[in-house]
Amino acid sequence: MNYRLICVAILPVLLSACASDPAPEEQLRLTEQALSQANAVGVLAEQSASLRQAQEKLALAQAAMQDEEYKQARVYAEQAELDARLAEAEHLTQKSQQQLAELNNVINRLRKQLGGLQ
């Protein structure tokens, strides 16, 4: 059996999948936007696993773009976008949780003071 022949038969199939994918420029733009939005609300990579994932996947997507592996680039970029959006949502939720805790503190303090005066 001629391995070379099999190889030649399969390769075009594999490559055609890549070749038909256009460069995901728009998706990369969206992903970068999502990441800078996360940065803008104050998400820090040290504190957010989601943001770290987003950054890693964006780097992978950009590398794939360089290699013209557009399908892989799109996959990474799409995932990175959602990772970044999740990081942003997690951060905002966490902040609102802190705000609630602070409010509860203040209210408890006020109640105590009122109780002391009566």
- Enumerate residues 46-65 that contact other proteins by CB under 8 A: none
Using rule CB under 8 A, residue 99 touches other proteins: yes
DSSP state of 21: S
User: Residues for the chain: how many in total?
Assistant: 118
Question: What is the Cα–Cα distance from 31 to 47, expressed in whole angstroms?
Answer: 20
Using rule CB under 8 A, residue 32 touches other proteins: no
**What residues make contact with other proteins under the rule CB under 8 A?**
3-4, 6-7, 10-11, 14, 75, 78-79, 82-83, 85-86, 89-90, 92-93, 96-97, 99-100, 103-104, 106-107, 110-111, 113-114, 117-118
